[in-house]
Amino acid sequence: MTYLQIRDSAVEQIQKGMLPLFPKMRVEAMPGAFTEQTIRQQAQRTPAILTSLVKTTDDIINNSVTFVSWVLYRATNEDRLYDGALKIVSALTEVIRDIDIDACIKDTATESECLFSGTLDAMNVTLWAVKWNLALGERALAEPGDLDGLDNFDGPTEVGQKDE
């Protein structure tokens, strides 16, 4: 099983577990961490759970993948303490515990951290990072894929040199 397949399966299972509880929830894959600009863009469609596969470990002793599921939540006039985000984080933790992927050993541990800041509050948004790991029962294969359609980028040309 490839890392891409593992990530997609995890996101699909989070969708299946969370959407019945929060029908307006947006659950998608995310390429990595946030910048302030991406938070502003993503905050237009909340609540959201955006999951990133952020680390792989592939050696003889430890084969695992590390995810961060970002919980993005916009406060309402009635919910200025972002209590809705805590409800989502609690439910997400339960869903993560039940994730079942063929190549993975059922060994999930989660760590949740509120990344609230004055900058986020000024946008009326809070952000939680729910970090979790899955141990791989077998080594995941990094699929080489078909790279023929991609342009080869050799870097910028020197000043004054024309591209051929």
Number of domains in the chain: 1
Residue 21's domain is classified under what CATH number?
3.30.2000.10
How far is 44 from 128, CA to CA, in rounded Å? 16
Q: Can you give the pLDDT at residue 143? A: 58
Tell me the pTM: 0.81
Q: Which regions of the chain are under pLDDT 70?
A: 106-108, 138-164
Q: Can you give the pLDDT at residue 152? A: 57
Q: What single letter denotes the amino acid at residue 28?
A: E
Q: 3-class DSSP state for residue 120?
A: helix
In a domain, 93, yes or no: yes
Q: Can you give the pLDDT at residue 149? A: 53
Q: Can you give the pLDDT at residue 62? A: 79
Full residue range of the structural domain in which residue 132 is found: 3-136
- Cβ within 8 Å of residue 104, ≥6 positions away: 6, 65, 134, 135, 136, 137
**How many Å from the N-terminal Cα to the C-terminal Cα in the chain?**
41
Q: Can you give the pLDDT at residue 155? A: 53
40-69 residue pLDDT tens: 899 899 999 999 999 988 887 778 889 999
How far is 48 from 18, CA to CA, in rounded Å? 10
Q: Can you give the pLDDT at residue 35? A: 85
In a domain, 130, yes or no: yes
Is 133 within 8 Å of 57 (Cβ atoms)?
no
